[in-house]
Amino acid sequence: MNILLSNDDGVKSAGLIALANKLSESNNILIVAPDGNRSASSHSLTLTKKVLLKKIRDDENVKIYSLSGTPADCVKFAKLVFKDFNADIVVSGINKGHNIGSDILYSGTVSIACEAAFFGHIAFAFSAFSHKASDFSGYSDFAVKIIDTLLPLSQKGDIWNVNFPDAPSDEIRGIKITGLGKQIYSDRYEKLSDDEYILVGSPINHVDNDDDCDVEWIKKGFITVTPVLFNKTNYERIKEVKDICGQLL
């Protein structure tokens, strides 16, 4: 199988390398990843400046390139430039830091999967809860099992957002197929100098979630798997307000 692999932590990230090593045991891998950290870049594209491609490795079944653009750039570039590599699936991660609940709106990791879905690919986005995650080899074993299990059940354009809890792989309690929750932070801008500020904050407890969502299950030591859509249309609201259009003229 041909797998296009990318991330938003950068081409040298330990999570990306561990996942590539595991997937390359039985697949052909093309990595096009940012040349540095692009966390929280969401689905942005580089439009006003050039992007630079650099070859890092070119083995028989593993080819690695860095790109000076965003995570979404990496997928678009790979599809439009490396046309001879016909990817069967697109995989993102393993990210350092979770992408659960409402955080996916900011996530470069999830944007890779969404961009892949635009091209009609089945895509998987993998993230580890802790920014200090070190058990990427163990998480990669789980990632392969999840791909092997869900791929036969997937349809064109499916996006699977997967998060590993803050625990070593041998302490994971199980896997939950669940919806997105809401993640709230104690956000504030901390002043560094007269003109410089930095956004800081950490997750805080709240009552807006029910127990069956990714935000709550991952706290309990479970891997969460959420099928997501890039179509954010609120169809129920369309039904509710459709008849008022005539009043707006």
> What CATH number does the domain containing 57 carry?
3.40.1210.10
- Residue 194 counted as domain residue: no
Count: domains in the chain: 1
Confidence category of residue 232, pLDDT binned at 50, 70, 90: confident
At residue 169, the 3 state secondary structure works out as: helix
The answer to whether position 186 is within a domain reads no
193 in a structural domain? no
Span between the terminal Cα atoms of the chain, in Å: 55
Range of the domain at 151: 2-181+208-248
> Is the Cβ–Cβ distance between 206 and 186 less than 8 Å?
no
Judge whether 227 lies within some domain.
Answer: yes
Vertex 103 angle, CA 97 and 105, to 5°:
125
Q: What is the pLDDT of residues 104-151, one digit of tens each?
A: 999 999 999 999 999 999 999 999 987 676 789 999 999 999 999 999
Written as one letter, the residue type at 57 is R
Say if 167 falls within a structural domain: yes
In sequence order, what are the residues at sequence separation of 6 or more whose Cβ sits closer than 8 angstroms to the Cβ of residue 27? 1, 2, 3, 61
User: Does 202 reside within a domain?
Assistant: no
DSSP 213: B
User: Rounded to whole angstroms, how far apart are CA atoms 46 and 23?
Assistant: 29
Q: Record the pTM.
A: 0.91
Is there a domain that residue 192 lies in? no
Which residue did the predictor score with more confidence, 81 or 200? 81
CA distance 170 to 243: 55
Residues 158-186 have pLDDT tens digits of 999 999 998 988 999 999 999 999 888 88
Question: Do residues 229 and 179 lie in contact, with contact meaning Cβ atoms separated by under 8 Å?
Answer: no
Q: What residues form DSSP beta bridges with 189?
A: 199
For 91, the token pair is 């995989």
Q: What is the pLDDT of residue 59?
A: 87
